[in-house]
Amino acid sequence: MKIVASTRLNKAQRAMAVSRTYGTAQQEVFNKAETTKPEETSKRLLVVMSSDKGLCGSIHSQLARAARAHLKDQPDTDIVAVGEKTKAQLSRTHPENLVLSISNIGKEAPSYNEAALIADEISQLGKGYDQVEVMYNKFISGVSFEPTILPAFSQQAIESSPKLGLYEIEDEVLENLSEFSLGNYILWGLAEGHASEISARRNAMDNASKNANDMIGQYSILYNRTRQAVITNELVDIITGASSLE
């Protein structure tokens, strides 16, 4: 399992590197345009990115814990749970906030088509959210990850950017920019989370293998000691019996 996870991790890290390139380039555009979240928001949405699979340590539970902490500060926030693991945890504690859940996630390295479908599902909710945020597990290293939030700006926030005029953007493109940027951030979150999950699963399998080897060693020693004790007792019985016949 460790070898399989290591092979998948290499593929996941390549997908993560590509998504980071697009994501950071998009962030740079919004930073230069000085795009910011609205000061007053009445409708908030948090998209929590996990997967359907377990056996990867505490990666899903830590993300759910971070989402619950976020909801504690902003209890009126709607939740979109991407992946069965997050859905299972948040539906027990905040069922009233859960407006959409998406499954069949995390089987392979994510693609933009997958991210675009998720973004389209969110846009079809038709609730006109003032603020949308994407929460995911950021890949730090092979042994660490961190729940992180990316702000996905609404069309109104983008159009209100003070320095949007730095870019020549056609009206038709501007109308779709908000949904495109959301899809881009979802892809980034999916790819980072996928790499974090595969890495955590590899570590979990490695720890399981080490624990199994330790148990094998302990039981081998116990077996040999027991066997030796049985042989010794049998020899004592034989010698005692032979002595009694003399």
| Residue 144: exposure state from Cβ atoms within 10 A (0-12, 13-18, ≥19) | exposed
Quickly state the pLDDT bin for 245 (edges 50, 70, 90).
Answer: low
pTM score > 0.85 for this model?
no
Structure confidence by residue, pLDDT tens digits, 33-66:
999 888 777 789 999 999 998 878 889 999 999 9
Which of these, 181, 119, 130, lies nearest to 156 by C-alpha position?
Answer: 130
Which domains does the chain show, CATH number per domain? Answer: 1-203 (3.40.1380.10)
Which of these, 73, 27, 59, lies nearest to 146 by C-alpha position?
Answer: 59
Structure confidence by residue, pLDDT tens digits, 181-195:
999 999 999 999 999
Among residues of the chain, what percentage have pLDDT more than 70? 98
Q: Which residues pair with 45 in a beta bridge?
A: 78, 132
